[in-house]
Amino acid sequence: MEVRLAECAGFCFGVRRAVETVYEQVQTGKTIYTYGPIVHNEEVVRDLEEKGVRVIEGREELLRLAEEAAGRGEETPTVIIRAHGVPKDIYDILDKNNLEYVDATCPFVKKIHRIVERESEKGRHVVIAGDPTHPEVEGIRGWCSGPVSIVETPAEAENLVFSPGETVCVVSQTTFNYNKFQDMVEIFQKKGYNDGVVNTICNATEERQRSAKAIAAEADVMIVIGGRHSSNSRKLYDICSRECANTYFIQTLDDLRLELPKAVRLVGITAGASTPNKLIEEVQNYVRINF
């Protein structure tokens, strides 16, 4: 029996890089804070907590930390900025208060910050296609110095009104749905805004889905590892179930109750974006050893 892992499974490049950054910083022996949980995975956050890493929940807490650090004098903590990135004013707070920080913003997100900062300075109205409550979108918004609008649906794009003579720059949240973005772009074009659209959707999600589907199509049994509340993991499960009737959705190895018939030749494994490698390996080894 063969056990095969999807080509793209688990953490994307940006999240892996950010998580590794935190583990590296832990080695320095300093007090480490992350600005928001580094990844939406309870186990990783708990493991880091046990190593002394604390989570700052927002601006207020950061300001409090800055005050405390100033009061303590020499021993300054290190703040790590996660892959989603943060608004410009967070860097200003860090710099003004001489707080040490390590910037683990995903380079693809950083690129969006640079685009909106530049276009905003030129006087363009920035439109972000994305979820207004998502920290990545909040971060992008925080690099705009002029008018900015966030649209989540084509209907919202349709209703958007610009001032006469205004030029527009449209970007997208990195995980935004491609088809929805295309629909919005068409709406802006119909309104006469043909330039200034930059597709900043990251292909990590699509690649993960594509490679899961490819394995599921061949596999006799498919295992999807992911968090209970992770929408991208659920999506992987749906995709795999359509290709393979024996698809299991598990959070940890403990959930795996496999009874494999003898005829099984290929077991496929994939994992959502917030599933750490360690867990993927555990499941992979378990299936290899026990069946």
By beta-carbon proximity to ligand F3S, the closer residue of 205 and 251 is 205
Angle (CA) 124-129-130 rounded to 5° is: 135
Say whether 166 is catalytic.
Answer: no
In the chain, what is the straight-line distance between the N-terminal and C-terminal CA atoms, in Å?
A: 8
Q: Is 78 among the residues that bind ligand F3S (CB under 6 A)?
A: no
Residues 91-120 that bind ligand F3S (CB under 6 A): 106, 108-109
Token output for 105:
């913003």
Count of residues engaged in binding ligand F3S, rule: CB under 6 A: 12
Tell me the HSE value of 273 on the side-chain side, using a 13 A CA sphere: 25
Strands 78-81, 54-56: pairing kind = unpaired
Which of 136, 156, 206, 259 is catalytic? The answer is 136
d(CA 164, CA 147): 13
Q: Taken in order 212, 267, 222, 239, is the CA torsion positive or negative?
A: positive
User: What is the nearest approach in angstroms of ligand F3S to the Cβ of residue 204?
Assistant: 4
User: What is the nearest approach in angstroms of ligand F3S to the Cβ of residue 75?
Assistant: 31
Task: Pick from 32, 83, 170, 221 the residue near ligand F3S by CB under 6 A.
Answer: 83
Q: Is 38 among the residues that bind ligand F3S (CB under 6 A)?
A: no
Binding segment for ligand F3S (CB under 6 A), chosen from 6-14, 153-161, 225-233, 236-244, is 6-14
> Phi-psi region for residue 26, left (φ > 0), alpha (ψ -120 to 50) or beta?
alpha
Binding site for ligand F3S (CB under 6 A): 12-15, 83, 106, 108-109, 174-175, 202, 204
Give the active site residues.
136
